[in-house]
Structure 1
Amino acid sequence: MKLQLKNIIAVVAISTLMFSCSSDDDTPIVEGSTGKMEIEFDNSVNGDDLILNTNYLNTNGETLKISRFSYIVSNFVLISADGTEKVYPKNESYFIINEGEQLTTVHLVNVPSGDYVKIRFGLGVDQDRYGQGETAQQDFWDVAAANNLTWTWSTGYRFINFQGTFTSPLVSGEKEFMVHQGSNSATDNYREITLDFPTTAKVRTDASPAVHLIVDANKILDGEAKLKLSDYMNVANTSASIMGGQALITIAGNTTRMFVVDHVHANGH
């Protein structure tokens, strides 16, 4: 009898949960209403969680110990199944992701209620925004500077700050490395990424979906194009750095494939 009662309770609980989920799915969109969305950037290295100061071997035969991984994401656009785009306000659309400071979630507020199937965002700061001058973006510049994502104003933002130490069969001992991705007077390395959601993100006044992205830092050097840090050693042979030239253009291409949507929570975590 007790077993039957437990089974009945379990069935009722499951039925209630299914009804609740079904009801959420059918909640109509109220014209003019808004909600929230979270976008979580879960940093990783080739399928493993990114843990700073831990060794990771890449297919270039180099072992990286990453001490810093931070970057700028910007210009968020949410896209519905019919192609309608809802552009997040530009002045509010620049965010810092910094693994070392546990800054890994973007909070979008006052998002128009809707059923979204894609997201587009920028990696870095676009030339239009940068061209508005330092005064127009002083607050964000200060935050970026505090997270080691700026050079001087004349040379602009670091879009990605990726550094640590590495070992290689081609280099004696452990060496420091720095990869600082940004734009310069010769090239615009700002890139936009468009990602499909595996399930629809339904934003309502009382429903705030959370989009979980996996970000693979390994792609920076070990993506579609391969770059060996040992090829970028300084004259003294003490460290490797990539901060300009064709290598950054190549890295900019790699980083467009660094982001994947893992799943969407219907209403937060």
Structure 2
Amino acid sequence: MKFKLQHIVAAMAVATTLVSCNNDDDTTAVSGTGDAEIFFDNSVNGDDLLLNTSAYTNSNGESLKINRLNYIVSNFVLIAEDGTEVVYPKENSYFIINEGANSTTVHLEGMPAGNYTKVRFGLGVDQQRYLQGETAQQSFWDLAAASELTWTWSTGYKFINFEGTFTSPQTDGEKTFQVHQGSNTATDNYREITLTLPNTARVRTDETPSIHLIADANVILDGATKIRLFDALNTANTGAAIMGGQGLIDIANNTLSMFKVDHVHNGAGDHHEE
């Protein structure tokens, strides 16, 4: 009996130590700053996006071969487990995701160390930033122009440039398509997306979390609102273009469900690099 009692006491002591250590890990304050990265993994309805290669069929029966997917993400906010929102500096918070140039990772530098459970970001450029004028954003405007994400300055940015060819049950042969989505004088098509992380992203001075997002390009036309490219064919019946009107509003609302979190990797290395 004495032997068993000694083992029980020892086991309880170990358990108490483990609980104490876990509590220390949960409650110990962190300080300093660190970095975080957000990787945008472009896909089409669950399949990897392969430019100029694969054909992807949507629920409208239209088969798309995609040769361009570029878009602007902006205004990043990390939300801590206690609800505190850490806003990345606005002047540095605009990024180009360019599948063709393998530019798919956003690096957030100098974020306060902490445990983060949500991320929020915008798709496109908000009106507040645009109205600051060309001089205030010339360097980003030039980057966007290099990725075919601008019209003229007076008409602004393309938030999404989505292009390729398609076939449809209603068409004879392959046609081109262009989807250039952005704000215009009639509507503000900038949208913000908030995503809950499946596990905590730990920002530390020596630990950089990588938040891996899946971006589903299929949702652009095949989301809550179904948009047929066939309906946007030009009079020559050679191609479809969606660059204005109700289509842009529908696309903006579709993109609210375009992104989801696949996983969060915490660690000092083994991250996605450009």
Q: Show CA shifts across 1:213-239 (max 9, x none).
A: 000000001111111100001111111
Classify the secondary structure of the residue corresponding to 1:172.
coil
- Between the aligned partners of 2:256 and 2:26, the Cα distance in structure 1 is 34
- Alignment-mate amino acid for residue 149 of structure 1: L
In the alignment, what sits opposite 2:147?
147
Equivalent pairs: percent with the same residue?
Answer: 70
What does residue range 122-133 of structure 1 map to in structure 2 within 5 Å?
122-133=122-133
In the alignment, what sits opposite 2:173?
173
Change (3 A) 1:173 1:24: farther
- Between the aligned partners of 2:115 and 2:28, the Cα distance in structure 1 is 10
In the TM superposition, residue 81 of structure 1 has moved relative to its aligned partner by 1.9
What does residue range 1-269 of structure 1 map to in structure 2 within 5 Å?
28-31=28-31, 33-53=32-52, 54-267=54-267, 268=269, 269=271
- Alignment-mate amino acid for residue 221 of structure 1: L
Total equivalences in the alignment: 247
- Alignment-mate amino acid for residue 96 of structure 1: I
In the TM superposition, residue 71 of structure 1 has moved relative to its aligned partner by 0.2
Contact 1:36–1:108 under 8 Å retained in 2: yes
Change (3 A) 1:25 1:105: farther
Classify the secondary structure of the residue corresponding to 1:256.
helix
- Between the aligned partners of 2:61 and 2:191, the Cα distance in structure 1 is 28
Contact 1:64–1:166 under 8 Å retained in 2: yes
- Structure 1: 5+ residue stretches without partners: 1-21
- Alignment-mate amino acid for residue 227 of structure 1: I
In the TM superposition, residue 80 of structure 1 has moved relative to its aligned partner by 1.1
In the TM superposition, residue 25 of structure 1 has moved relative to its aligned partner by 5.8
In the TM superposition, residue 29 of structure 1 has moved relative to its aligned partner by 3.8
Classify the secondary structure of the residue corresponding to 2:100.
helix
Classify the secondary structure of the residue corresponding to 2:235.
coil
Change (3 A) 1:230 1:29: same
Contact 1:29–1:113 under 8 Å retained in 2: no
In the TM superposition, residue 24 of structure 1 has moved relative to its aligned partner by 11
- Alignment-mate amino acid for residue 119 of structure 1: V
